[in-house]
Structure 1
Amino acid sequence: MRIRSLAALSITAIAALSLAGCTGSSEPDASPSAEVSDLCSAAVASGDASNAVSVSGDFGSMPEDVTFETPLDIADLESTIVTEGTGEAVSAGDFVSYGIAVYNSETGELVDSVGYEEGSFLPQQVSPQAAFGQIFGCAPIGTRAVATFPATDSSAAGVYVIDALEIVPTAAWGEEQTPADGFPTVVLDDDGAPTITIPDTDAPTDVELDTLKLGDGPVVESGDTVLVQYTGVQWSDGTVFDSSWESGTPTSFVTTQVVPGFQQALEGQTVGSQVLVVIPPEFGYGEASEDNTNALAGETLVFVVDILGTQHAVTE
């Protein structure tokens, strides 16, 4: 397995960049554009650099041709709308999937692309301070934009063609399945947050899985980075010990960096699915001992996990 190329790392990084980061400033930008609460007002202006880029090809697919006079002088983050979408307007806090193609501002050559194939890029949360919010503002889904990024200490200047593909739900959307007998019961509130009730039986000694909703998205593979919602309770008393729902937003992590039982609940599942998993101590945090004082040691754990996105690991 290898680390994704520098260009693709830059692609991922722009989701979290502020305007100050894009301009290469070492100090936070105190301008109103860095502090706006209204997503529509967050959109940066077009300019000579972004307006100089010509794009052809269908929205939702890799651009067929991206041309501009080289070298292109890029001093500021600029954004020009190429195609105005007709879909749902994006709001701050939404998770949006994107297709992105990056071009060298010195040569005009394609450097890298991501997001046009399923499982290649996680949905990104939109905010007025993040680069995607500043590129699109509250433009609707279906919008294609050209963004010109100036050089920073860690990346070269670049021309980005970005398609806002869809708003991704923050709860599993798959087809409901008939729950298996003997498992904890799950009731969802209006937002999709689960309440888990433990049955009056002994805890299982092996990892047990039940798919509550079956999604139609890409399959989660070992080593993927996933975007999920989850709630975890203890079998012993039903106490909630961790929940992304309670923290207020989905979270992401690599499947190989969680306890083995949780990893089994993710890998092989499809995006859009909701999975119930029961994890005995052997596949969780182990048995309690003098050397293992984790608060969850010795506990059988129950998770309900909504799988919202996956980004496959890049291999040689």
Structure 2
Amino acid sequence: MNRALRLAAPVALAASAALLLAGCTGGDPESTPSPTAAAGECTTAPSGAASESVKVDGDFGQTPTADFTVPLEADELQTTVVIEGDGDATKPGDTANVVITMFNGTSGEQLVSQPATLGIADETLLESFRAAIDCQPYGTRTVTVAPPASLYGETGNESIGVAAGDSVVIVADVVDEYVEPEAEPLPTPSEWTENVPEVTQNGDAAPTITIPDAAPSTELQLKVLEQGDGATVADGDSVTVNYVGINWDTKETFDSSFDRGEPATFTTSGVIPGFGAALVGQQVGTKLIVTIPPELGYGTEESSNGLGGHTLVFYVEILDSAAAG
């Protein structure tokens, strides 16, 4: 499925998530730590002279500063608690909101400072980050000094300014427990009767969709082109569809499962709200067209995929539906 249709990822180190992942040394923005990954045992590291020498200043939960003598080196991973929290201790399997700030141990330069949602004892995370947050009480700030062997190895990570042989200082604020937000109920589309695009079928190929020369609707509206007689799609189901996505304003196709040669499968809650709402309550075998205003698509502001602020039109063929497992 094309990434354009997906919801944005939940809170995680957006542009530098892969910096935290075991086996990663680059900054792939599509890689995110998984709070649901299988948890092992808590990783701990002893306090030592290097980690105790780092003086941290700044409000808890915000970007701190760190003062230390460079180059700061350690033969082994060291973690020191600089603010002891009074909340419940995190435990394997928990998911926590944290603020991670990284400094180059050779130069003292700040490298990264961003909030993240991370699993406790998540074995997909690098050891240094696990040692910084695992089994600490909420409200705790730690300083971890990570030698190269426990972080990016002999190659370093040039994408953020860590050369081979550089140690890294990690300041971690374990803020609070992550609570999955309640999903907003999907809106109900109204019947689309005016300025409906013309749809011309082309056999197994993508249909031709002609957007009229008119202002787009400001509401979520849907027209059933062919009624199916299969199972009814429920909210949260895993649905398989063929679809074409068109930007009403530019009249250009921005996405098409037909062009990729295979249908897409996803949950109704895993796509933009207007698309999910168009599927719920429909039967397998149905062909429909839906117009989605910006607030139910990619928002009213400009977005990285170029679709923010635009009215979208989707032609959809519902091929299958099943309860998400």
TM-score by length of 2: 0.46
Higher relative contact order (CA 8 A, sep 6+): 1
Structure with higher Rg: it is 2
TM-score by length of 1: 0.48
